[in-house]
Amino acid sequence: MTGIPDSMQEELASWNNGRGIDLWDWTACTGNFSLAVGYSEIFWPRFVEFEGYVLIEGFDIEGLRSFEKNGKATRQSIERVMNHLHIADIQHAECTDIAADKLIILGERLQEIYAAKLAMQFPDRKFVIEFVRPEDPNAFADYQVSFYQE
């Protein structure tokens, strides 16, 4: 089964009396619309311009002001930290099926999504969209995606 992370191969292969199932059909069988609505906020985030910054909607203004007080901070460093997402935080802390291969797929997709959405919403600006993979593949909390203006 192509496109399926190694950590999901066995589970999806067992569907349909061993004939398997693809990700689209598996999602249709196991997902729900409430989760789909929640995921839409993650996978097509809302970005806002604020005082020259480009940030994810709902940012913490007190956090922003706190970062601005650091004399070494730049617009880029502030945007990078304000806009970062730990991919493991998409699910609850006790989620048992977390795996590096899943976090990598999600991180790569989010990097592409952020690039497309930012280019569409702010065509006159250039962005760096980062997907950070930790040296230790099992350091799940360290997989992150973020962005900032060049």
Give the model's confidence band at 2: pLDDT under 50 very low, under 70 low, under 90 confident, else very high. Answer: low
pLDDT (tens digit, 9 = 90+) per residue, 90-138? 999 899 999 999 999 999 999 999 999 999 999 999 999 999 999 999 9
CA 89, CA 74: separation in Å to the nearest integer? 26
Read off the amino acid at residue 83: N
What is the C-alpha separation between 128 and 131, in angstroms, rounded? 10
Per-residue model confidence as pLDDT tens digits over 54-68: 999 999 999 999 999
pTM for this model (two decimals): 0.90
| Residue 1, pLDDT above cutoff 60 | no
**What is the radius of gyration, based on Cα positions, of the chain?**
18
Single-letter amino acid code for the residue at 47: F
Nearest to 9 by CA among 117, 74, 97: 97
